[in-house]
Structure 1
């Protein structure tokens, strides 16, 4: 398996293993947002399920796209679920290695939460820059307009901050650019388009049939069973946020 193939399978595995940030391991999304009491927030808010025909917003709160074709691919990836896709105003912007200035990227995200016609929000990709947006987010509007928010890597900063400030459960998983392949698609639908429990995460697909996978094996670090809230994401971002307000 060459480096390109290995990276592609790795992204498929990461995007397939969608996790609820702040959600109970046994809980599922509700058809409508239902606040519930928990020990960390006065309320935990479950966003409404997404369904085919819904309009989802796509924003780039971190790094910019190298080519416009990447944005088209990300848009088509979300359309394969039956969604209509509304692109953020600054998703094509470039400001150094970022998709626009901090204020522009934050405003795109805030706007998607405010708009009643937008049912969910998907990020274009990860990269760098989300931590710079945290003071610019409209947390009150986010709390009043709960929606599915999903992204990976650097988007972890947004997911954790929004949960801490509002109680909204969000998802670390497929971005628009990486949510391809049967494994990722099935996991995406199970997590945010179905009221069934997510259940056990399936092993990632092997690179070749009837060949023992060497690069993308599931590894158990500490065996056992646990019940509680699942908060995580990209571990670099998790550690970098320690000590922040």
Structure 2
């Protein structure tokens, strides 16, 4: 898996966006939750896996954080080089330990994914981390940290863009809702695109347009009158098994999660809502990893499943073609008898939704929605 470095001009945090519907933030704070963020808070930047190139790239990363209204504090080894890693395993772990021990730091962002986060788990100071709840933000290889934090620390983390990724409006808006406002939003893909279409030749401009309720007064028709709502294929969700389920959100990148099966860094998945995404894996590898989760008993424990995007997961070695990713998801998830859907805008995509791991949510597989049921912060 490669690190995604699609750096764009930083975008401000937006509160009301397609895909993020605010809900009440009135639930009393819970002990052990990370504090909510406020504009001007200092946040740590660490590199648990791949290094930053420094220079213009690091400046763009700092700009991303500043655009969210936060002040970046860069870990000592973010630009260090040890092969493809940002310093030795102990160096990278020390950066994370320092951020959680520093009372001035209010949250911690991973700079990049790549590979290497799992290697630092034995060197993390879990006692200090658990005693100082702070949001951890990142995705892809950072899945190893999300899982270990769920198992060892017990407070919520946010699966969302790394600091070095693109923070577009829906990503920034869902993050702001969760981390700053302490809201419990309804998370869903962007709304259907409503595309204008010209009137057919000879059409009555006073006739009801398709979709107009019978008996309703027709709107004045013009060549710009919308006649249909068309969903961008990237934003379409599909129910594998319709229904609703509640549980604690946990998961992340499929390959990273599968690689930790059988280790002490895995949390308990009993009654959880399993959230998965993947990138750059051939179909037969997706099949193999899901089979591993099944044999490990993980799939049989969960209350529901949300599979996000499988970016560039097409084409395998000769002789291993023949199944599509959706076919494999139906094969592995449908027999479980729990609500499941795929296509959520989660993973290696622009405008990915930020998902709070470790908090309870209600999923509606038919609607393709995730209703957060408790704040991720205090």
Same fold, TM exceeding 0.5? Answer: yes
Number of residue-to-residue matches in the alignment: 213
Indicate the residue corresponding to 1:232 in structure 2: 251
The alpha-carbon deviation at position 180 of structure 1 amounts to 1.7
Alpha-carbon distance in 1 for matches of 2:67, 2:157: 21
Indicate the residue corresponding to 2:189 in structure 1: 202
Residue 53 of structure 1: which of 32, 40, 50 is its match?
A: 40
Secondary structure of 2:83's counterpart equals coil
Deviations 1:90-122 (A, max 9, x none): 111111111111111000000000000000101
Query: Runs ≥4 in structure 1, deviation > 4 angstroms?
Result: 26-32, 208-212
Indicate the residue corresponding to 2:172 in structure 1: 185
Deviations 1:183-225 (A, max 9, x none): 211111112111221223232897x977752345334333221
Deviations 1:152-195 (A, max 9, x none): 00001011111101212111112111242112111111121112
Indicate the residue corresponding to 2:237 in structure 1: 218
Higher Rg of the two aligned structures? 2
- Partners of 1:30 and 1:47 within 8 A in 2: no
Deviations 1:56-95 (A, max 9, x none): 0011111112453222111111111111110001111111
Residue 132 of structure 2: which of 122, 136, 145 is its match?
A: 145
Greater share of strand: 2
Secondary structure of 2:44's counterpart equals strand
Q: Is 1:106 aligned to residue 93 of structure 2?
A: yes
Secondary structure of 1:49's counterpart equals coil
Larger mean CA deviation between 69-78 and 51-60 belongs to 69-78
Secondary structure of 1:226's counterpart equals strand
- Partners of 1:62 and 1:98 within 8 A in 2: yes
Alpha-carbon distance in 1 for matches of 2:157, 2:24: 13
Alpha-carbon RMSD across the aligned residues, in angstroms, is 2.8
Secondary structure of 1:119's counterpart equals strand
Quickly say closer, same or farther: Cα 1:127–1:52, change in 2 above 3 A.
same
Relative CO higher for 1 or 2, CA cutoff 8 Å, sep ≥ 6? 1
The alpha-carbon deviation at position 29 of structure 1 amounts to 10
Residue 77 of structure 2: which of 85, 90, 95 is its match?
A: 90
Structure 2: stretches of 5+ with no match in the other structure: 1-5, 8-16, 197-229, 265-378
Greater share of helix: 1
Deviations 1:110-151 (A, max 9, x none): 000000000010110111001101100000000111101111
Structure 1: stretches of 5+ with no match in the other structure: 1-6, 9-15, 19-25, 36-44
Quickly say closer, same or farther: Cα 1:236–1:52, change in 2 above 3 A.
same
Quickly say closer, same or farther: Cα 1:117–1:236, change in 2 above 3 A.
same
Q: Structure 1 length normalisation: TM-score?
A: 0.78
Alpha-carbon distance in 1 for matches of 2:263, 2:25: 29
Larger mean CA deviation between 134-143 and 197-206 belongs to 197-206
